[in-house]
Amino acid sequence: MALILHAIKRNKNVFKTLIAAEYSGVQLEFAPDFEFSVSNKTPEFLKMNPLGKFPVLETPDGPVFESNAIARYVARLNGDNALYLSTPIDNARIDQWIDFSTLEIDSNILKLYLPRFGYAPYLPPAEEAANSALKRAFGALNTHLASNTYLVGDSVTLADIITTCNLYLGFTEILVKSFTSEFPHVERYFWTLVNQPNFRKILGQVKQTDVVPPVQSAKKPAQPKESKPKPKDEPKKVAKPEPEKPKEEAEEEAPKPKPKNPLDLLPPSKMILDEWKRLYSNTKTNFREVAIKGFWDMYDPEGYSLWFCDYKYNDENTVSFVTLNKVGGFLQRMDLARKYAFGKMLVIGSQAPFKVKGLWLFRGQEIPQFVIDECYDMELYEWTKVDISDETQKERVNQMIEDYEPFEGEPLLDAKCFK
């Protein structure tokens, strides 16, 4: 028997199990035609969960309900999974953060979310109390993440999956930038996790809400559909052919062509970006004479532009591996620009605080707007356009491309390339 998940597909509690299944290699199927407030009120469903709540996982050994329990079951189903660790203390800490994120984060986000979306009475004092409690929880999480990339250990565990899914509702629906910016390590953690391949496969592209939603009027609970009994002698009805859809409606349903990226509409450039990337990758010796000279021979100042970037919060870079992971996450999120960009990111210094500086080559004369819109890290850096007529700036470009050391008088901790 396959594992069957009784639930709607787009729900943060369901995401926990789906992401855990991606990491654990577990195959799941959704119950067909599951309908909220209908399917979960049937006698068959109530036998699996008497409270009528979803998700419920149907297994060969019987049903499991409660989203955290289902995610734990899936995480442990394959013995060689990496979502739990090898020692009892590490696994206790995984459960500790699961409970923390459920009781301190998820519950308070729901206290803000439900009244504003009309699912509970709106009481300003209650919202203020929930807001205060959530800030306290974010503060505790922020302190832990100041020196940890993940909640427990050095890789994703079930604690990270459940905590990120609990944060997801807040970031996407209720918590604006002015709230979350007070907790930069929580922000870095959330955006790093949601852009991991297994998370992104389930969540898709995640965007933070721009506004706190206004208070909506109370919603009436959905009524289950009732089937009316047909009279015994009711004559059979002949199925009528469906009327043709209006032309306008048919056109709306037709797949629309994907809009072109504005950078694809720019005049052709003499610089072929892939040729430069190949030259950079294949040059092993005489880098200045071959790669750097080749770059300037190829460079087209009308079709491309060069930019320096400097991290705004270097005083926070007190732990080397956290700083390196921060830069790695930034490069991962820049993947959407791979067709139009080349970059070098340097982590500088032999001791904390470490400095992060970068050089980027972009198609066009400005930083592409879609990169600014989609990659939140962009606002964490100061961006300065390179003036190639200035020999000092041009030499700085050369040194950043070739990982010259010492760079500006300091050793390199690491150099990462985006190509």
Domain ranges (residues) in the chain: 3-77, 88-203, 266-418
pLDDT at 222 over 80: no
What DSSP assignment string belongs to 239-298?
A: PPPPPPPPHHHHHHHSPPPPPPPGGGGSPP-S--HHHHHHHHHH--S-HIIIIIHHHHHH
pLDDT digits (tens, 9 = 90+) for 299-341: 999 999 999 999 999 998 888 888 888 888 888 888 888 899 9
- Per CATH, domain 88-203 is 1.20.1050.10: yes
**CB count, 10 Å around CB of 115?**
20
Phi, psi for residue 241 in degrees, rounded to 5: -65, 140
Name which of 112, 146, 143 is nearest 130 in CA terms: 112
pLDDT at 228 over 90: no
Residue that the structure tokens 């993940």 belong to:
150
pLDDT at 246 over 50: no
Name which of 35, 39, 40 is nearest 50 in CA terms: 40
Q: What count of Cα atoms within 13 Å lies in the side-chain half-sphere of residue 98?
A: 22
| Pure H helices in 146-270 | 158-169, 177-180, 184-194, 197-203, 247-253
- State how far the Cα of 338 lies from the Cα of 318, in Å rounded to an integer: 30
Residue 63 burial (C-beta neighbours within 10 Å; 0-12, 13-18, 19+): middle
pLDDT at 258 over 70: no
What DSSP assignment string belongs to 123-134?
A: -HHHHHHHHHHH
pLDDT at 250: 38
Just give the CATH number of 266-418.
3.30.70.1010
CATH H-level, domain 3-77: superfamily: Glutaredoxin (3.40.30.10)
pLDDT digits (tens, 9 = 90+) for 374-416: 888 898 999 999 999 999 999 999 999 999 999 999 999 999 9
pLDDT digits (tens, 9 = 90+) for 262-313: 898 899 999 999 999 999 999 988 999 999 999 999 999 999 999 999 999 9
